[in-house]
Structure 1
Amino acid sequence: MAKAQALPLRKDVPVPLTWDLTTVYKNDDAFETDFSFIQDQIKVISQLAGTLENSADALLKATDLYLDLNRKLEKVYVYAQLKNDQDTSENKYQAMFSRVEALAAKFAAAVSWFDPELLKLTETQMKQYYQTAPKLTNYKRLFDQTFKQRGHILSNDVEAVLAGAGDIFSSGEKTFGILDNTDLPFPVVTDDNGNQVQLSQGVYGILLESTNQKVRKQAFQKLYEVYGQFQHTLAATLTTNVKNHNFKATVRNYHSALEAALAANEVPTNVYENLIEVVNKHLDLLHRYVALRKRILNLDELHMYDLYTSLIGKKSPKYSFDQSKKIALEALQVMGPDYVNHVKEAFGNRWIDVVENRYKRSGGYSSGTYDTNPFILLNWKDNLDNLYTLIHETGHSMHSYYATHNQPYQYGDYSIFVAEIASTTNENILTDYLLDKFKDDTAMKKVILNYYLDGFKGTVFRQTQFAEFEQYIHEQDAKGQPLTADFLDKYYKHLNAKYYGDAVISDDEIGLEWSRIPHFYYNFYVYQYATGFAAASTLADGITSGSADHVEKYLNFLKSGSSDTPTNVMKKAGVDMTKPDYLEHAFEIFERRLNEFEKLTETES
């Protein structure tokens, strides 16, 4: 038997392929200095409780200190999180991240009085305060966001208890993370070349792209064999998380956990409802695509593990990390020189942690804070999907860069709701670039169309399926239904069958998919992948048309941060996400490209 190919240890990863966290803190001692400072100042800010009604200057003093401490807390949090994520087995950084989480909970408890006290100030008082201390006008939108929460913010004592229990409320998510990233014992499986490889989240994704159905089937069954062994524990961690959301929504006087989650981002629930309604309306397109997949692959039975292999009869094109950076820069030229120069800065200054190493957090993300550059975590594999992941996460990072460099700290972040719009706009620009580049190359055009259709399936259809599942389990828990592993398995399999239709067999293992999705712990996050992709379709169409006006509007959107509500920011960029039109437009593009792909494949059949 060939020796299993083990992932490298962190210390064996080449330095140029790791992120440079010394730009955050030169060393751990510098981190400890800020950590200690925050600890000391937490005592100071807690003593300001009861002062906001005294004077405008008292409000200004409390607000300035609140934001200054929060800004420094974000920096220590990001440093500890990134250190932990690069190697989740390292006890030192596990402990560091745990300490920061506990510190964040203490800080939240220490400032929990602020919003209830702010709500005691009347509109007349606030007008007087703005006149007396004009610097307060810099925080007007920040204050207005709190005033919108009247009826949902509780008394000082209750807010202090909820804030102090933040670490406890996150226990389900933390337990899942440790299990999923460190403790689950994934087996060795056989790859396309007959090599024995250790299964991981990253390797699993590659094996599902295999043209060998036996390889796909083995990876699928072996992965879910592991999750199946732990499904009752994972049902308990997910239930803890759902109960956390429902409890907080109830005590804060929201009708549902969904309403509470979306209200936190100033997003009306009709945005979520429109998404599920419009996607369900167009499930026939997904059924049609799945049936096409079965025909092209010439399979008597199409299984869930057959949905990621290429439809063009070969593996995904290989793109090294260096090649992918070059392609991304070429595609993004339509964004203008300023944008491209900042992307070059990210690519050339170790903002990216590239390769997968043992115990590294799975997946990919962009992270950072106001006083750091944006960092990107990848688990690189040489394929088209990782090229798209690179340009996707670069979109997040450029959004962060423009927001932090054009807004004051209090508005230098942006709503989670619009975050996925920047990333998927980049994806759509890349697709347009590649389709144009290979317009006379039928084989490559098929590859790109195949990838786009699969991407749409995964981003719009699949994430909406997740969103529908997430809403359902919260509603069921609120009704008193126990979220047992058996209950979750059965419903998830039923929902999967509805989405993918009769052409595919919803294998029993797919009922376990809920147990390995980290986003179910993010409190109604996944729907934004779908809404973001659909909105990005409209934005990318305008940008790739060559119109400078569309580019300017888009860059202004990136620069806006949280200076306005997310739906208003998007309206200014040209997309009204409170209406279903942008979703319908996305499905028109999908159907057009599905038609094109069908014609190309029928010509050769």
Structure 2
Amino acid sequence: MLKRSEVKLEETWDLTDLFENEQQFEEALQEVSEEATAIEAKFKGKITNSTVAVEVITLYKNLSEKLVPIGNYSQLSLSVDQTNDTAQMRAAKVGQLYSKISAQLSFITSELLQLDEETLTETKNKAQDFSHYIDKLIRKKPYQLHPEVEKTLAAFGSIFEAPYELYNTTKLVDMKFENFEVNGKSYPLSYNSFEGDWELETDTDIRRAAFTAFSNKLRDYQHTTAKTYDTHLKIEKTESDLRGFNSIFDSLLFEQQVDKELYDRQIDLITSELAPIMRKYAKLLQKSHGLEKMTFADLKIPLDPSYEPKISIEESRQYMKDGLSVLGKDYQAMLDRAFDERWIDFAQNIGKSTGAFCSSPYGYHPYVLISWTSRMNEVFVLAHELGHAGHFYLANAEQNIFNARPSLYFIEAPSTMNEMLMANHLLSNSNDARFKRWVISTIIARTYYHNFVTHLLEAAYQRKVYEIIDDGGSVNASILNKLKRDVLVDFWGDAVEITEGAELTWMRQPHYYMGLYPYTYSAGLTIATEVSQRILKEGTPAVNDWINVLKAGGTKTPVELAQMAGVDVTTDHPLRNTIQFISSLVDQLEELTAQLEN
């Protein structure tokens, strides 16, 4: 693995669009700090009428916009190299600043909520742009604490984020992987190389040896990681109790604007009805690879081990433009900008965050992190992250900073939609049976396995963890390992051997530090599956509806956003339709495999 200083510049993102140099960054820190102090001095204790309310909300909005590049610059520079001391200290400094400003300005929410309903209505009438912001505040009123308590909690903001930072430091800085050997040959191992390459390796001996070596290193850090996670859970539980929520689930789902019925259904229905379909897929993988037994370490291998197209970064651009062309010329222009203006960090280097993500700072363009391996399936990963980018590119342009971000429940719909559109394009432009089988298998292995299975099993496990915490309990490595293994065994049955090390996969997922996030992948993909099928049938009208949904940002609830796109998530029909669609894909794989073998 290269050091960050050794990678090609053209494969890295350009953060100078946020700040051209460190001096400019430091000046921005000073500016926002002074502005926050001035707002506190002028308005604390004085928000007594609608005129003052509009004035203070306007200043708060402007300050929030100035904080955006500061937070993103510090976090993005750290995410590409967690070993960088300067980046570590910069991020810590920004975390402290955010906590200080949050504490200073916590009075705004408290004093606004002390206004009577008539005054708040008058405020909304005077500033229509703030109407949604005020409605969201009013919704929080039953769970608002005394102003001084709110200020104290805000001051502890960076401390409450410490478990996630500790998790990343353990995972990306302290955890060093040694080479592993197979038949006398040595192979390099890292977090990114395992998740990007070795998990998909077609040589069974190498793949399983990599899994064992990777799991052994995780095991060395299981107790520290479990303690870190337990601390995070206790913070969430304490705040939930302080605010008067009935359960930690109610607290975490409150921000998502959905009830527990939608949450439970997403987990329970998939667990029971998708499991037999995925076991069937696992058996097909086993047969195609001639494996004596199917193990957990084999689940991400490609169906056709000798057919794995390679693709360059530049070639991926054309795939993006062609596959997502249905979304229109403006969307394609955004994709060109993403490549031309270096919005994407492709490089692989020591200390870089694992997986892929998109950050979309308000008032600036999005940034996408990915570790490019040249495997064709990366096309789907990149399409996924550019789905997030396209979403916020449009939402940020149409909405103010208070209204741009939708519920977490909906956040993965635009990303998984792009994966579906890419698959539709590839399938419709080839008559080659082998290529079609590769595309369909990639949809299952990448799109549905990752979002509907991996994250679903994480959600099922996470629910069990939160049930323990909600009852006043604690967790440690032994408990977490058992919970994870039980979930895996229940889902895969006797179709897959849950080998030693599989239970440690709870250590690999940063989403556990982001509330009830894992289940939202399947929720988003359910919406995306329905809408992508609608686009295939209806064309332009369905596309226009979808673009309007993206532009709406967070101005509507996730249920309302789905309804705008023609999907009713208050029933189980979309979810059952999606499960049936996955079943049909597995059937097609079996038919194509039989056809090719004959």
TM bucket (normalised to shorter chain) is over 0.9
Secondary structure (helix, strand or coil) at the match of 1:309 reads: coil
CA separation in 2, counterparts of 1:235 and 1:127? 47
For the Cα contact (< 8 Å) 1:192–1:212, is it kept in 2? no
CA separation in 1, counterparts of 2:59 and 2:138? 20
The correspondence of residues 374-385 of structure 1 with structure 2, limited to 5 A, is 374-385=366-377
Taking a change above 3 Å as real, the CA distance of residues 128 and 405 of structure 1, as seen in their structure-2 partners, is: closer
Partner of 2:402: 410
Partner of 1:602: 594
Q: CA deviation at 1:457?
A: 2.0
Are residue 322 (structure 1) and residue 314 (structure 2) matched? yes
For the Cα contact (< 8 Å) 1:154–1:252, is it kept in 2? yes
Q: Counterpart amino acid of 1:580?
A: D
Partner of 2:495: 503
Deviation string, structure 1 residues 26-61 (Cα, Å, up to 9, x no partner): 1111111110011112222223222222x2121112
Q: Counterpart amino acid of 1:95?
A: M
Deviation string, structure 1 residues 148-198 (Cα, Å, up to 9, x no partner): 112111110111111111111112111001111111011113589955323
The correspondence of residues 196-345 of structure 1 with structure 2, limited to 5 A, is 196-282=187-273, 283-314=275-306, 316-345=308-337
2:47 pairs with one of 45, 52, 67: 52
2:462 pairs with one of 465, 470, 474: 470
CA separation in 2, counterparts of 1:498 and 1:253? 35
Q: CA deviation at 1:350?
A: 0.8
2:7 pairs with one of 1, 6, 13: 13
Secondary structure (helix, strand or coil) at the match of 1:112 reads: helix
CA separation in 2, counterparts of 1:204 and 1:547? 36
2:486 pairs with one of 483, 487, 494: 494
Q: CA deviation at 1:521?
A: 1.2
Bigger drift between 325-334 and 479-488 goes to 479-488
For the Cα contact (< 8 Å) 1:446–1:597, is it kept in 2? yes
CA separation in 1, counterparts of 2:376 and 2:113? 51
Structure 2 gaps of 5+ residues are none
TM-score (norm 2): 0.96
For the Cα contact (< 8 Å) 2:406–2:557, is it kept in 1? no
Bigger drift between 295-304 and 424-433 goes to 295-304
CA separation in 2, counterparts of 1:311 and 1:468? 27
For the Cα contact (< 8 Å) 2:106–2:150, is it kept in 1? yes
For the Cα contact (< 8 Å) 1:189–1:199, is it kept in 2? no
1:25 pairs with one of 5, 19, 28: 19
For the Cα contact (< 8 Å) 1:493–1:506, is it kept in 2? yes
Structure 1 gaps of 5+ residues are 1-6
CA separation in 1, counterparts of 2:321 and 2:188? 33
2:74 pairs with one of 68, 80, 103: 80
Aligned length: 594
CA RMSD of aligned residues (A): 1.7
Q: Counterpart amino acid of 1:596?
A: Q
For the Cα contact (< 8 Å) 2:202–2:302, is it kept in 1? yes
The correspondence of residues 102-181 of structure 1 with structure 2, limited to 5 A, is 102-130=96-124, 134=126, 136-181=127-172
CA separation in 2, counterparts of 1:96 and 1:600? 53
Q: CA deviation at 1:234?
A: 0.7
Partner of 1:66: 60
Partner of 2:519: 527
CA separation in 1, counterparts of 2:563 and 2:454? 26
Taking a change above 3 Å as real, the CA distance of residues 109 and 315 of structure 1, as seen in their structure-2 partners, is: farther
Secondary structure (helix, strand or coil) at the match of 2:368 reads: strand
Are residue 571 (structure 1) and residue 566 (structure 2) matched? no
Q: CA deviation at 1:329?
A: 0.8
1:428 pairs with one of 420, 427, 432: 420
Partner of 1:4: none
Q: CA deviation at 1:320?
A: 1.4
Bigger drift between 526-535 and 455-464 goes to 455-464
CA separation in 2, counterparts of 1:209 and 1:191? 16
Identity rate of aligned residues, in percent?
25
Secondary structure (helix, strand or coil) at the match of 1:277 reads: helix
CA separation in 2, counterparts of 1:535 and 1:192? 47
Q: CA deviation at 1:326?
A: 1.0
Bigger drift between 522-531 and 194-203 goes to 194-203
For the Cα contact (< 8 Å) 1:403–1:558, is it kept in 2? yes
CA separation in 2, counterparts of 1:190 and 1:405? 52
CA separation in 1, counterparts of 2:377 and 2:478? 33
For the Cα contact (< 8 Å) 1:202–1:362, is it kept in 2? no
For the Cα contact (< 8 Å) 1:435–1:448, is it kept in 2? yes
Q: Counterpart amino acid of 1:488?
A: L
1:185 pairs with one of 161, 176, 200: 176
Partner of 2:530: 538
Are residue 479 (structure 1) and residue 474 (structure 2) matched? no
For the Cα contact (< 8 Å) 1:470–1:520, is it kept in 2? yes
CA separation in 1, counterparts of 2:523 and 2:208? 32
Taking a change above 3 Å as real, the CA distance of residues 580 and 169 of structure 1, as seen in their structure-2 partners, is: same
CA separation in 1, counterparts of 2:102 and 2:461? 31
Secondary structure (helix, strand or coil) at the match of 2:141 reads: coil
Q: Counterpart amino acid of 1:248?
A: E
For the Cα contact (< 8 Å) 1:403–1:414, is it kept in 2? no
CA separation in 1, counterparts of 2:437 and 2:283? 17
Secondary structure (helix, strand or coil) at the match of 1:366 reads: strand
Taking a change above 3 Å as real, the CA distance of residues 224 and 372 of structure 1, as seen in their structure-2 partners, is: same
Q: Counterpart amino acid of 1:393?
A: E
Q: CA deviation at 1:275?
A: 0.2
Q: CA deviation at 1:356?
A: 0.9
CA separation in 1, counterparts of 2:370 and 2:282? 29
Q: CA deviation at 1:139?
A: 0.5
